[in-house]
Structure 1
Amino acid sequence: MSTFNKGDKLEILRTTTTTNITPAWFPATVIDSPSPSGTLHVKFTTLFVEKNRKNGTRKRKKIKDYVSLTAGVIRRVPPPEPHRRFVVGEEVEVLYGCGWRRAVVKEVVEDGRCTVVVGGAVEVVVENRNVRVCCSTASGFDSQQEKSTDELVLQSPKPTKLRIICSKQNSKAAFFQKGARVEARSYEEGYHGARYVATVVGTVGEAKFLVQYDTLTTDDQMQPLVEMVHVSNIRPLPPIIRREHRFNMLEEVDAWYHDGWWVGVVTKVLANLKYVVFFWTTNEELELHHLDLRSHQELINDKWVASFSVRFTFRI
């Protein structure tokens, strides 16, 4: 059984009278540790109540409530996937009416939006940042996300090296079966050092696989690109590392650029969660937002190793 602490971010399943589509998961913050009676005091992030002041004006205050830990209505906030691409017919969750609700993608629009049908009744156009993968229903507060060893929360801003040990069942054979999600590395001119997210769609002998890319298309841009890749150039998706602090100067990172992840190093830390990143494979410097970066990780001897300080000498 997990323990919640003051300040933890959660989502609470509840209904509202503001919309006829129910229920929804509403973002909230823990106010106090769980009580002996098994309830949790929370303050909602997007739900408000209006109260009258003595001078006749009205004031909006965030709703506070007590939620039972055993009612199956509490879950951890799922990790963000800012570059996730959705497909028609996919079941998702959409931020609608101040909460996350189940929906189905009806149409994908090229400008970073999609049309979804919420609750099987309401059709709306939303930005992709307000759409996410459909999360599993909470089982009390002992969510699968807490049990996973593939997600880390970093709380120390000090440069360090983190070793992530995966279980033995995460062998290449298991990861690279048909349908496995992978990252494929390219050595073509102009793409050296980039990795692209793809899905394994077939095998060619024992050492090569057919992969279908998420973001790369054929020359006519009509179909997703499918190509044969040697086993040495693909790897499973790296574990999610949730950054509680900003990236540091000279920290090695992966940057989302030109539809793939490129290895670079932070050369400047700017305001508004922005950075300047240098790419040694292309000799470029770009200004990027925090959400476009992730900690660089390498799969060494079937173990994920994340380095939070640059591993080479670099002159600015």
Structure 2
Amino acid sequence: MSDEDLNSIFKPGTEVEISSNEEGFRGAWYTGTVVKSKNRNKLIQVEYKTLMADESGRKPLRETLNVVQLRPLAPREKGELEFKFSDEVDAYYNDGWWEGVITGVLPGNRYDVFFRATREQLEFSASQLRIHREWFYGNWLPPLQQQDQDQAYISTGLNISNNDKFIKGATVEVCSDEEGYYGAWFTATIVEQLSNGNFKIEYKSLRNDDDTALLTEIVDSNHIRPCPPTETIEHFRMFEEVDALCNDGWWVGVVSKVLSRQKYEVFFRGTDEELVVKQSDLRRHLEWINGKWISSSSVCNLIHR
């Protein structure tokens, strides 16, 4: 997307959704308004609608952010929706929209929602939920008029049964909640499955504090997944979600600039960093949901055929 396109989308006065990197706010989108645009530097000043700069709650918070932390207001269907188990949703909580998954359908049009970012499960009414959408190349996915067709996104076609994915000796990826490691996936091997349903794993690249052996840990099923399928990607595009191999792990980022067919600038929302990454150290970002690898960019490819 060109600077001219960004000028038309994020001009002053435009209402937008904003992702913040501040501790306690990561993983949510907040509504705000564009104040100033400096697209040559990919920086845009915004004013939040629900976050305040003072304790009295009278002065809205203003921040200058990278353009990849902004998107237009997400569309919403009219009326109250009904959701199913495993539907991806955004839940309105603590003044922002947080991405989650429906894990329980309750009486009275209420739902249990699990949040991967915080490993929490909370209960919401349908009025506090919306269909989860991603903004790719100027399009909302799934589109508003194709909700039933695209709501579950498009699978990569790889479906692994629960009995086969986490057996002893299997190579898996593990995420950590430890400071400095949050948001990354590290390759590991399953040593054994414990009686309580947790797993003992041994990392392939992380070592213990004494640097005498590979690090082993006990993890639960919310922190473990199979390794994503290997794919050959010719090139990545602006604003495409990717995983970048840095510091022995795969970190979720967004392509903020295409430098050449072999190098990209990648912005990491979790750390507010922008790094140059080689093509060979990038892969398409996929989510492991209900035994399938899901890619919202597959929907984008389908729409643009």
What TM-score results when the alignment is normalised by the length of structure 2?
0.46
Structure with higher helix content:
2
> Which protein shows a greater Rg?
1
